Amino acid sequence: MTPDTARPFVDLLPAVADALAAGRPVVALESTIITHGMPYPDNSVMAANVERIIAEEGAVPATIAVVGGRIKVGLSDGERESLATASGAMKLSRADLGFAVAQGRTGGTTVAATMICARMADIRVFATGGIGGVHKGAEESFDISADLDELARTPVVVVSAGAKAILDIEKTLEVLETRGVPVVALAADIMPAFWSRQSPYRAPLRLERPEDIAALFETRRKLGLDGGMLVANPVPEEDEIPAGEMARYIAAAHRAAAEQKIAGKAVTPFLLGKILELTDGRSLKTNIALVENNARIAARIAKAL
């Protein structure tokens, strides 16, 4: 679906439509974090708080999801609460977004699907927790997230805390470089690792301010360089779980997934759930903190654009 042909399938929340028509800043938000990333009621509280933070920064939040076959760009409070409690919601990426629309299904949008829908609505900035990437053992499983290809093709700034730390961050960075995706750490030389402020890997690029990121995005557009950008924004220091400690939990979660033969789209939700259990809930608190931090920065980038 191109932005023009997709319009009959898209419902814009009135506040989002008004902001876009007036040229005011809008920030897209994904919904798999609601449907698959956190338990209820934490998912509902988190989603409402993130929208509030974006509004306080002077931008308009647009949580994106598919509800009954309609692409919703911006959710009402009731729609957001229904999504938070929905059972059987699909986890939607590029491959199955059209299927959900055609079949009247409901689902949470991943990074890839949210980027696609944001582009349909002409929203240029998107805040998430962490992107998908190359899974550990991908040389045998070929498990590589569609998020990486979407970053290469769809012109949206994605603000994250880096790739999810359950992934192979080194290989994820290599694939992003091959696809020509700028990876910019905000005021940091080292890539963050989702729950932790630092990974073992240097950031490919560094910029100091949201305004600098907006300027880079505009420069790329004027140069005719296709695709999006990944902003890696470290979790606040007071909220992080140190990388050394997280490595033990992640290793244990991977062992459990292998023992239970978890595969495909079920891998990431399983690992996140297992880590939540192993950390006695600390990983969820950090996850919420980093999403809120990313939303704040995304709103400032959107205002600068």
pLDDT tens-digit map of 153-188: 999 999 999 988 889 999 999 999 999 999 999 999
Q: pLDDT tier at 265 (50, 70, 90 boundaries)? A: confident
In sequence order, what are the beta bridge partners of 172? none
Percent of the chain with pLDDT over 70: 98
* pLDDT greater than 60 at residue 50: yes
β-strand 125-127 against 26-29: which pairing, if any? parallel
Catalytic residue among 72, 91, 136, 164: 164
pLDDT tens-digit map of 181-228: 999 999 999 999 999 999 999 999 999 999 999 999 999 999 999 999
In sequence order, what are the beta bridge partners of 92? 109
Q: pLDDT tier at 5 (50, 70, 90 boundaries)? A: low
Cα 37 to Cα 265: distance, rounded to the nearest angstrom: 12
Active site residue 139: no
Percent of the chain with pLDDT over 90: 88
* pLDDT greater than 60 at residue 81: yes
- Tell me what pLDDT residue 269 has: 84
Strand ranges (E), the chain: 10-12, 26-29, 60-67, 70-73, 90-92, 107-109, 125-127, 157-160, 183-186, 205-207, 229-232
Comparing C-alpha atoms, which of 295, 161, 138 is closest to residue 239? 161
Pairwise pLDDT comparison (272 vs 56), residue with the higher score: 56
Cα 61 to Cα 295: distance, rounded to the nearest angstrom: 9
Region 144-148 average pLDDT: 94
What is the DSSP secondary structure assignment for residue 150, as one 8-state letter?
H
* pLDDT greater than 60 at residue 47: yes
Cα 207 to Cα 196: distance, rounded to the nearest angstrom: 19
Burial 236-248 (b: 16+ CB within 10 A, else e): eeebbbebeebee
Active site residue 164: yes
Cβ count near 116 (within 10 Å) = 25
Region 31-39 average pLDDT: 91
Q: pLDDT tier at 37 (50, 70, 90 boundaries)? A: confident
pLDDT tens-digit map of 109-145: 999 999 999 999 999 999 999 999 998 888 888 889 9
**Contact by Cβ (8 Å): 115, 122:** no
Instruction: Report residue 136 CA to chain centroid gap.
Output: 19
- Record the pTM: 0.93
Helices then strands (H, E): number in the chain? Answer: 14, 11
- Tell me what pLDDT residue 142 has: 87
Give how far Cα 40 sits from Cα of 128, 280, 288, Å: 18, 16, 13
Helix, strand, coil percentages in the chain from 3-state DSSP, rounded to 5: 50, 15, 30
Cα 182 to Cα 219: distance, rounded to the nearest angstrom: 12
Comparing C-alpha atoms, which of 289, 279, 272 is closest to residue 45? 289
- Tell me what pLDDT residue 4 has: 57
- Tell me what pLDDT residue 6 has: 60
Catalytic residue among 30, 51, 57, 150: 30
Comparing C-alpha atoms, which of 215, 242, 247, 208 is closest to residue 229? 215
